[in-house]
Amino acid sequence: MTLLILFFLLHLNNFFQTSSPQILPGNTTGYACNLNQTAPSCHTYAFFQVMGPNQLDLASISDLFSVSRPMIAKPSNLTSLTSPLFPNQALFIPLTCTCNSVNTTTNLSYAKLNYTIKKGDTFYLVSTNLFHNLTTYQSVEIVNPTLVPINLTIGQDVIFPIFCKCPTKTQLQNQVNYLISYVFQPYDTISSIASRFGSTTTSIVEVNGDKIRPWDIVFVPVSRLPELKQPSPTVSSDHRSDRSGEVIGLAIGLGVCVVVLFLIGGFWVYGESLWKKKVGKNKIDPESKKFEVEVSLMADVSECLDKYKVYKIEELSEATKGFDERLVIQGSVFKGYMDGKYYAIKKMKWNACEELKILQKVNHGNLVMLEGFCIDSNDANCYLVYEYLDNGSLYTRLHDSKMERLSWRRRLRIAVDIANGLQYIHEHTIPRVVHKDVKSSNILLDAQMRAKIANFGLAKSGCNAITRHIVGTQGYVAPEYLSDGVVSTKMDVFSFGVVLLELISGREAVNEEGKALWVEVYENFNGNDEKGRHKLKGFIDDDVLRGPCSIDSVMNVMSIAIASLHRDPSRRPSMVDIVYALCKSDDLFTDLSEDGFSPRQVFAR
């Protein structure tokens, strides 16, 4: 076999010596990136054509590129993970492209792939024969400065830099969402590549110049991944199976999002048990086990299929430019644009889908609204799609010095909104829901600066449970939960008290020394006397004092906060009491405000 490949290579070389005597790749050491222009990382694809007898099954290619088989099958339009590949079959290999600094002056753009050296390997042979010139041995040497290329040991791990590029800001604006890595073949012309990928010659030349030689990498700019027309597989043994067998094959390839559509399309008359039975019978592929898990997950969320829009992973990927890091709002939440509207798209492992089950039970103006979801079986991720709130989190509003300061009136409204949202989940859901992670960064503000509670990722339904698995955020967690793991609505009341302190003081829940704000309050405020009043003035955010504000109103909110922070959970007020007391404080404020209009005054006249 090796002889065959060698013969093949020699043959190609001869062919080239006739047409162009010197074959030197354009950028042998790699492709520079500039973090001023591109994201530090992005998802992209390499075009890869199956060659040689050792690459005729998907498993060996997925091993080579360290990705799962479905991750290649899906973008490549393969319906089966197990049927053999054909010579010259085209595949799209997903890459995580990053900008890496190699020395003080240069950053190179590539996807890092681990490769374990086997007998007879050299950097050159692996780059040209296995990775088909998607990298060069020169670049492998630069990326692995500690390795001696002529003295490699078998079993040694080497990073192979697969060349890739992330789109620049201008390219993204021009709808160039991917730059597909393609190795220019001897028979290619720029226009043949353009038509194959649905790109244009001008845009390819813009990115790559017009002096492209065989085996050079061409970055093909496209707005979406082109469809690969795969040759239809010869009749396989799978064909004897019935209709749902076909559905299973498809679903494994295309992901559960498709299954969801089938389910909606009336397919679920088959019933969950039948699905499970069918899958149980289907022992041909280890993937089927994963599929079984997915089916049971779908059963879990089947109640909300009619309530929410079910998105396809492609839609979400497009909306977020392939989950571009620059669109991250916070953590794993991305800002996405679909159908003329912005959405917040949260990516999580599907076992975290608890949030979906909780959210389908709640619906209130002060809770962030869930619009839809998507389950992607390929990487076992679950995506929740929420309404997008323009003004970001309360945390940023309060603590980012670049933000416009919030007036006391606004802060009070925000406090009332949060209290209303919490009152709703505590009192009007069966079983009761405890949020468990109330904090200013989980409070979002809409265009009118009305507050909504977000992130039910830790929420629990059912009350007075004991848990050994302590979650939550330092500075907000109630002491009884930390020490005994008691889950009750009163732990949300405690965290809400901390948010009130943040609103009053404009300070963070935990200071630089790691001391919690509520501990400070325990130490300094006990009793509503003259001394307490004086201390309070020092505690209030200067920005609040500068604007219109009534000290009585702040005082009142402070006493609500102190009551909410009571060490004994049973002596903390309920959210119902708090909503009532806060509204009273709102009244107090209206009386004394200087905006010249007070409902009560009007009433008095």
Ligand X SMILES: *[C@@H]1O[C@H](CO)[C@@H](O)[C@H](O)[C@H]1NC(C)=O
Mind telling me the catalytic residues? Answer: 437
Q: Is 66 in the site for ligand X (CB under 6 A)?
A: yes
Could you tell me whether strands 309-310 and 370-376 are parallel, antiparallel, or unpaired per DSSP bridges?
A: parallel
Interface residue with ligand X among 142, 258, 463, 519 (CB under 6 A) is: 142
- The interface mask with ligand X, positions 230-259, x = CB under 6 A, is x-x---------------------------
Residue 208: partners with Cβ closer than 8 Å, 6 or more residues away: 216, 218, 219
Order of all β-strands in the sheet with 333-338: 309-310, 370-376, 381-387, 341-349, 333-338, 328-330
Token pair 């998802």 in the structure block, residue: 43
Q: Is 101 in the site for ligand X (CB under 6 A)?
A: yes
Let me know: does 523 contact 532? Beta carbons within 8 Å. Answer: no
| Shorter beta-carbon distance to ligand X: residue 256 or 333 | 256
User: What is the rounded CA–CA span in Å between residue 308 and residue 303?
Assistant: 10
Interface residue with ligand X among 2, 88, 114, 273 (CB under 6 A) is: 114
Q: Find the part of the chain contacting ligand X (CB under 6 A) among 105-113, 172-180, 234-242, 257-265.
A: 105-113
User: What is the rounded CA–CA span in Å between residue 217 and residue 30?
Assistant: 10
The closest alpha carbon to 186, from 52, 50, 15, belongs to 15
H or E element at residue 373: strand 370-376
The closest alpha carbon to 505, from 494, 492, 520, belongs to 520
Let me know: does 32 contact 106? Beta carbons within 8 Å. Answer: yes
Question: Dmax of the chain from CA atoms?
Answer: 103
Let me know: does 355 contact 457? Beta carbons within 8 Å. Answer: yes
Q: By CB under 6 A, how many residues form the interface with ligand X?
A: 38
Q: Is 35 in the site for ligand X (CB under 6 A)?
A: yes
Residue 69: CB minimum distance to ligand X, A = 16
* List of long-range contacts for 441-444, beta carbons under 8 Å, 24+ apart: 441/330, 441/393, 441/394, 441/395, 441/396, 442/393, 443/393, 443/394, 443/395, 443/414, 443/418, 443/499, 444/368, 444/389, 444/391, 444/392, 444/393, 444/394
The residues in 493-512 that bind ligand X, with binding defined as CB under 6 A, are none
Tokens of 5: 């490949």
Tokens of 542: 């200067």
CB atoms within 10 A of CB 574: 15
Q: Is 227 in the site for ligand X (CB under 6 A)?
A: yes
| Shorter beta-carbon distance to ligand X: residue 77 or 574 | 77
Could you tell me whether strands 217-222 and 178-183 are parallel, antiparallel, or unpaired per DSSP bridges?
A: antiparallel
Could you tell me whether strands 309-310 and 90-101 are parallel, antiparallel, or unpaired per DSSP bridges?
A: unpaired
Q: Is 20 in the site for ligand X (CB under 6 A)?
A: no
| Shorter beta-carbon distance to ligand X: residue 101 or 363 | 101
Q: Find the part of the chain contacting ligand X (CB under 6 A) among 84-92, 104-112, 236-244, 250-258.
A: 104-112
Interface residue with ligand X among 34, 54, 202, 524 (CB under 6 A) is: 34
Residue 110: partners with Cβ closer than 8 Å, 6 or more residues away: 30, 31, 97, 98, 100, 135, 139, 143, 161, 162, 163, 164
Q: Is 19 in the site for ligand X (CB under 6 A)?
A: no
Q: Is 6 in the site for ligand X (CB under 6 A)?
A: no
The residues in 189-218 that bind ligand X, with binding defined as CB under 6 A, are 209, 215
Residue 63: CB minimum distance to ligand X, A = 11
Q: Is 146 in the site for ligand X (CB under 6 A)?
A: no
Let me know: does 72 contact 93? Beta carbons within 8 Å. Answer: yes
The residues in 44-63 that bind ligand X, with binding defined as CB under 6 A, are 51
| Shorter beta-carbon distance to ligand X: residue 37 or 351 | 37
Q: Is 102 in the site for ligand X (CB under 6 A)?
A: yes
Q: Find the part of the chain contacting ligand X (CB under 6 A) among 151-159, 194-202, 318-326, 525-533.
A: 151-159
| Shorter beta-carbon distance to ligand X: residue 227 or 594 | 227
Residue 202: CB minimum distance to ligand X, A = 16
Q: Is 132 in the site for ligand X (CB under 6 A)?
A: yes
H or E element at residue 111: strand 107-116
Q: Is 125 in the site for ligand X (CB under 6 A)?
A: no
| Shorter beta-carbon distance to ligand X: residue 216 or 437 | 216
Q: Is 106 in the site for ligand X (CB under 6 A)?
A: yes
Question: Per residue, what are the HEC states of 374-428?
Answer: EEECCCCEEEEEEECCCCCEHHHHHHCCCCCCCCHHHHHHHHHHHHHHHHHHHHC
Residue 125: partners with Cβ closer than 8 Å, 6 or more residues away: none
Interface residue with ligand X among 151, 234, 401, 483 (CB under 6 A) is: 151
Tokens of 577: 């009491």
Q: Find the part of the chain contacting ligand X (CB under 6 A) among 31-39, 332-340, 450-458, 509-517.
A: 31-39
Q: Is 116 in the site for ligand X (CB under 6 A)?
A: no
| Shorter beta-carbon distance to ligand X: residue 16 or 270 | 16
Q: Find the part of the chain contacting ligand X (CB under 6 A) among 98-106, 316-324, 341-349, 536-544.
A: 98-106
H or E element at residue 219: strand 217-222
Q: Is 32 in the site for ligand X (CB under 6 A)?
A: yes
Q: Find the part of the chain contacting ligand X (CB under 6 A) among 226-234, 301-309, 326-334, 389-397.
A: 226-234
Q: Is 107 in the site for ligand X (CB under 6 A)?
A: yes
Interface residue with ligand X among 14, 22, 36, 88 (CB under 6 A) is: 36
Q: Find the part of the chain contacting ligand X (CB under 6 A) among 25-33, 55-63, 191-199, 431-439.
A: 25-33
Kindly list the residues in this chain that would bind ligand X in the complex (CB under 6 A): 9, 12-13, 23, 26-27, 29-32, 34-36, 51, 66, 77, 101-107, 114, 128, 132-133, 142, 148, 151, 153, 157, 209, 215, 227, 229-230, 232
